[in-house]
Structure 1
Amino acid sequence: MDTMDNAVVVVGAGPAGLMLAGELRLAGVDVVVVEKLPAPTGESRGLGFTVRTMEVFDQRGLLPRFGDLPTTAHHHFGGLTLDLGVLDGAHLANKTVLQSQTEQVLEDWATEQGVEIRRGHELVSLTQDDDGVELELRGPRGAYRQRCAYVVGCDGGRSMVRKSAGFEFPGTPATMEMFLADVRDLRLRERKYGETVPGGLVMAGDLEDGLTRLIICERGTTPKQRSGPPSFAEVAAAWHRLTGEDISTGTPVWTSAYGDAVRQVPNYRLGRVLLAGDAAHIHLPAGGQGMNVSIQDSVNLGWKLAAVVGGTAPAELLDTYQTERHPVGQRLLTNTRAQGLLFLGGTEVQPLRDVITELIGYDNVRLHLARMVSGLDIQYDMGEGDHPLLGRRMPHVDLVDHDRKTSTTELLHPGRGVLLDCADDAGLRSAAAAWADRVDVVTAVPVDESAFHGADALLLRPDGHLAWTNGSAAGVDQALARWFGPA
């Protein structure tokens, strides 16, 4: 392979790009992030964390960096009340953390590990061959070229990586335009989860530091070709038409317009170019799932790409990023479209809202929808086996390792695989010894004897999903080779 300037270049310093860079660097990969904006915007389209993102951050020891996080079981599906208290696990959802804070926490974590972030550096074009990718970039000092082994586009819905590499992006264009704004100096009653009014939908929610988050959807509007954000006067006029309330005296922090376009690339990987987050899928921001799924894309990809770049696993491991995350993206698009119909429809949709509300009253329906919007319904293909956790995320389980207390969550902090030996099986540990550079073998038992549903040997991937138990058809050596490369 040719000498590379960097092993991996991540384009985009949003939550997905920063999370991916941190994951790669945690595994020892030489990675640089390029971001066309000279400084963070301070805007916070994403707000809060789903249950699964809370778990993911906990897996890397990142939750304490956010301070004292309030959580809640109160959620919704398309504006219809949904109780998350039916879920298993150590966390509930957070509704308060601004995307700007999330980006700052992830940037600090990444740079502490040695990630270089180049702000004000814009991707102009890229070409790839069998050995690497050539990037043309434009920075503060002019144009330059850079070569790397892999490029990951985390550069949002208008991704230059996606366009330059030739990814298809099929779907449906926006049919309406909505406004999003954070405003100070407003006294408005809260309209949680959106409130249907004649002519559309409005939402007002109190954030920290005296901010009010506004969301406005006026039915009958057509998407505009904008070169910048809408003026606050335009936002205030729409709010007045829908509610009769005057918010023009407020102080806008930022405003934005967005639509209900739905698109997804058929392939998340083309050769040495990969996409994550909004670069791979765009949708109506219903239920606060977009940023969270983007972060989880990066957590799925990071350890796999690190193993391939590091030479411990074949490039075919990257194919599982496509097979695992593309269906998750499809499901995201489906459930946000369904929520959009409930949210944004007029009086003709009220019978459907009534029926869905009735169905949510059933425990199994409520659990199904809660798992869907929280990211806990995902089950990857790990081969034959009937263990209830196989392929699913491992919830937090407290463990005792001799006299030391630990947990499944703490064991994942280093971002490595974990083979958990609950039966003090010397043969199992011997079989795994050849993967010691990639997988930690831990002898411990759960405090709650029923936590592992009868399994006494479990293999966790770095992303926290259960890859193997001693009830699986394959042996531990086969599972280790499949997910961590040859011995």
Structure 2
Amino acid sequence: METQQVVIAGGGPVGLWLAAELRLNDVSVTVLEQRTEVDQRSKALTVHPRSVEVLACRGLHERFLDESLRISTGHFANLADRLDFSVLDTPYPYTLFIPQARTEELFEEHARALGATIRRGHRVTGFTEQADAVTVRAEGPEGPYEIRAEYLAGCDGTRSTVREAAGIGFPGTPSRYLGWLGDVAFDNPPPPGFNRFTEHGGLMVVPLPGDRWRIAGTDPSSATTEWPGDFTMEELRQKTIRIAGDDFGMRDPSWLSRFGNATRLATHYRLGRVVLAGDAAHQHYPTGGVGMNVGVQDAFNLGWKLAATINGWASDGLLDTYHTDRHPIGEQLMEHSRAQTYLFHGFTPEGLALRSLLSRMIPRSKEFSDVLAGRLTALDVAYPAADPDAHPLTGARAPALAFAAADTDLFALLRADGYLLLDLTARGVLDDRGGDRITVRGGALDQVPDGWEDVRAALIRPDGHIAWAGAEEDDAELAALVDDALATALGRR
């Protein structure tokens, strides 16, 4: 029987990113993807700022920056007033507009270059878990076969075979609204950034490569629990005329689709030797274009923890923190998705009034807009600290700290297979704390961000979140605290 350390069910962006993270840790991995080629009908088009930071942490961001349209604003439920991303605390204060098909191609190229085995036309059909392994049943063009692995990752979508076979619950609410979209050509395209929302419905139009356009929207007839059948070009045309007053000369559809707002969250992100990520763990209405981003960030959190567990340098219970870190993010995703779904279907006078009121608050209330932008971009994600007395930065995303004496930033210094220890004492107090899984970087910061004023040392996880931060002024006591933090992080207690 074939053996691998990890088998991943699903070769979309989430599964491919997880495969690459595992290979950066020298973990053998096979990805089984049912599709024989990349689906050119791109569900996702947006890479949000935190996801660009994730790409930068692995040196992949330049490829995306070169091929993408940068958009410095975002929307909440397609409200008229947009969120200003240009003021966000990130080197990438914009979303990247790039079809999911191209994202998937770049991720697959990245994973293959690192040595991941990717089998298209293969699918997981079930598994049997043992105490020290999992036997994965699969089927390919030449018939059924089995792979013995240490762990099985379900990145196989909302109808996940892995999740169902593991008996992991997927509670939530069924679909009560339907959205629709069409990828078409226009003879008379609308102006850039075109969107409308009236009592007749709401829609937005965005450009696609090859002089094509995506038009997506909702309307009063979308409030239904009945499936009305396949979406047609004539329906798209009539809905567009009713909402926008013009069909813009639409023709030659390459994709027409309806989608519902069923909202569900897995009860466990990890159960035994099975882990879930992406749509296998959470299903929601595609509001704000966050779905793929949340899934990739799941994989970014999971990859190093799974690898550390397999390679024997994980602290006790590290893999369990994947669920405690990411399940609350899934709960927040459900809340924001449901709220936006309600606003997306506010076609009554009362609904339009609510939309107008909330829209006007965006430019008038910085706190309100910052909360929405932080959630949408995932720049505000912070994981719970185990120690209630921990420094307030513990668990937060580390910003792109720049060092005064070097042309580099924190993202470029991160490693997938170990921690980064920042020595901000300016005296090299912690220079000798480096090791197999620890890289020490010392020196003064070029600029000190808010909240970092008292920090003299910080331990950064492979996924860019802060494992520990210390403000102790006495050098000897600071060094002792660092030793304690390293022992905890590396499971040496």
Aligned pair partner of 2:366 in 360, 363, 367: 363
Tell me the distance in 1 between the aligned counterparts of 2:490 and 2:256.
45
| 1:304–1:388 CA distance, 2 compared to 1 (3 A) | same
1:428-447 → structure 2 map (5 Å cutoff): 428-430=430-432, 432-433=433-434, 436-447=435-446
Q: Counterparts of 1:39-438 in structure 2 under 5 Å?
A: 39-68=37-66, 69-80=68-79, 81-190=82-191, 192=193, 194-221=195-222, 222=224, 230-240=231-241, 242-243=243-244, 245-246=246-247, 250-313=251-314, 316-347=317-348, 348-360=350-362, 361-382=364-385, 383-385=387-389, 387-400=391-404, 404-412=406-414, 414=416, 416-423=418-425, 428-430=430-432, 432-433=433-434, 436-438=435-437
Please list, as runs of the form range in 1=range in 2, the aligned pairs for 1:15-26 lying within 5 A after superposition.
15-26=13-24
Q: CA deviation at 1:163?
A: 1.2
Q: CA 1:178–1:186 in 2, change beyond 3 Å: closer, same or farther?
A: farther
CA contact (8 A) 2:199 2:352 kept: no
The letter for the 2-side match of 1:410 is: A
Pairwise CA distance, 1:330: 0.6
User: What secondary structure sits across from 1:331 in the alignment?
Assistant: helix
Q: Which residue of 2 aligns with 1:36?
A: 34
Query: What CA distance in whole angstroms lies between the structure 1 residues aligned with 2:91 and 2:420?
Result: 20
Distance 1:138 1:236, change over 3 A: farther
Alpha-carbon distance between aligned partners in 1 of 2:275 and 2:228, rounded to the nearest angstrom: 28
Query: Kindly tell me: are residues 124 and 414 of structure 1, through their superposed partners in 2, closer, same or farther at Cα, counting changes over 3 Å?
Result: closer
More divergent stretch after superposition (33-42 vs 307-316): 307-316
Aligned to 1:486: 492
Aligned-pair distance for 1:415?
Answer: 5.1
Shift in Å at residue 312 of structure 1? 1.3
Shift of 1:32: 0.9
Q: Shift of residue 326 of structure 1?
A: 0.5
Alpha-carbon distance in structure 2 between the residues aligned to 1:25 and 1:275: 18
Compare 230-239 and 124-133 and name the one that shifted more.
Answer: 230-239
Q: Secondary structure at the match of 2:89?
A: coil
CA 319–4 in structure 1, closer or farther in 2 if over 3 Å, else same: farther
The letter of the residue matching 2:45 is L
User: Once the 2 structures are TM-superposed, how far is the Cα of residue 175 of structure 1 from its aligned partner?
Assistant: 0.8
Change (3 A) 1:186 1:291: farther
Q: Deviations over 1:415-469 (max 9, x none)?
A: 5310011225665344x34xx2212122232122567323121110011011112
Q: Compute the displacement of 1:210 (Å).
A: 0.7
Taking the aligned partners of 2:228 and 2:63, their CA distance within structure 1 comes to 37
Whole-Å Cα distance in 1 between the matches of residues 403 and 357 of structure 2?
Answer: 44
SS of residue paired to 2:336: helix
Which residue of the partner structure matches residue 475 of structure 2? none
Identity %: 38
**Structure 1 Cα separation of the partners of residues 111 and 373 of structure 2:** 31
Q: Which amino acid letter does the alignment assign opposite residue 465 of structure 2?
A: H
- Shift of residue 266 of structure 1? 1.4
Say whether the 8 Å CA contact 2:188–2:249 is kept in structure 1: no
The separation in 2 between residues aligned to 1:95 and 1:379, in whole angstroms, is 23
Superposed, 1:444-483 pairs within 5 Å as 444-449=443-448, 452-471=452-471, 475-483=481-489
**Contact map agreement 2:70 2:96 (CA 8 A) in 1:** yes
Which AA in structure 2 matches 1:198? Answer: E
Distance (whole Å) between structure 1 residues aligned to residue 138 and residue 206 of structure 2: 40
Q: CA deviation at 1:317?
A: 0.8
1:288-330 deviation line (CA, Å, top 9, x unaligned): 1111111101000000000001111156211111111000111
* Deviation of the 1:355 alpha carbon: 2.9
Q: Deviations over 1:214-249 (max 9, x none)?
A: 11323234356699x644455445445555544785
Taking structure 1 as reference, are residues 271 and 469 closer, same or farther at Cα in structure 2, changes over 3 Å only? Answer: same
Query: How much has 1:88 moved relative to structure 2?
Result: 1.2
Number of equivalenced pairs: 479
Describe the superposition over 1:116-173 as per-residue Cα deviations: whole angstroms up to 9, x where unpaired.
1000001111221211111111101111111111011111111111111111110000
What's the offset of the Cα at 1:7? 0.4
Measured against aligned partners, the alpha-carbon deviations of 1:236-269 in whole angstroms (never above 9, x if no partner) come to 4544555554478511222322101110011111
The 8 Å contact of residues 48 and 93 in structure 1, kept in 2 or not, is answered as: no
The residue type paired with residue 77 of structure 2 is G
Amino acid at match of 2:367: N
Question: Is the partner of 2:381 in helix, strand or coil?
Answer: coil
Preserved CA contact (<8 Å) 1:177 1:224: no
Q: 1:484 to 1:190 in 2, by over 3 A?
A: farther
Tell me the TM-score normalized by structure 1: 0.91
| Partner SS for 2:318 | helix
Q: Closer, same or farther in 2 for the Cα pair 1:127/1:98, shift >3 Å? A: same
* Consecutive unaligned residues in structure 2, runs of 5 or more: 473-477
Q: Distance in 2 between matches of 1:315 and 1:193?
A: 52
Q: Is the 8 A contact 2:456 2:471 kept in 1?
A: no
The answer to whether the 8 A contact 1:386-1:471 is kept is no
How big is each residue's C-alpha offset from its partner over 1:387-414, in whole Å with a ceiling of 9 and x where there is no partner? 453321111121146xx43211110155
- Per mean C-alpha deviation after superposition, the further-off stretch among 381-390 and 310-319 is 381-390
Deviates more, 1:112-121 or 1:201-210: 201-210
- TM-score using structure 2 length: 0.90
* In 2: Cα distance, 1:384 partner to 1:193 partner: 48
Contact 2:420 2:460 (C-alpha < 8 Å) held by counterparts: yes
Root-mean-square deviation (CA, aligned residues, Å) is: 2.5
**Shift of residue 95, structure 1, vs aligned partner:** 4.3
Shift in alpha-carbon separation, 1:375–1:471, aligned structure 2, 3 A:
same
1:354-380 CA-to-partner distances (Å, cap 9, x unmatched) read 332343211211212111111012111
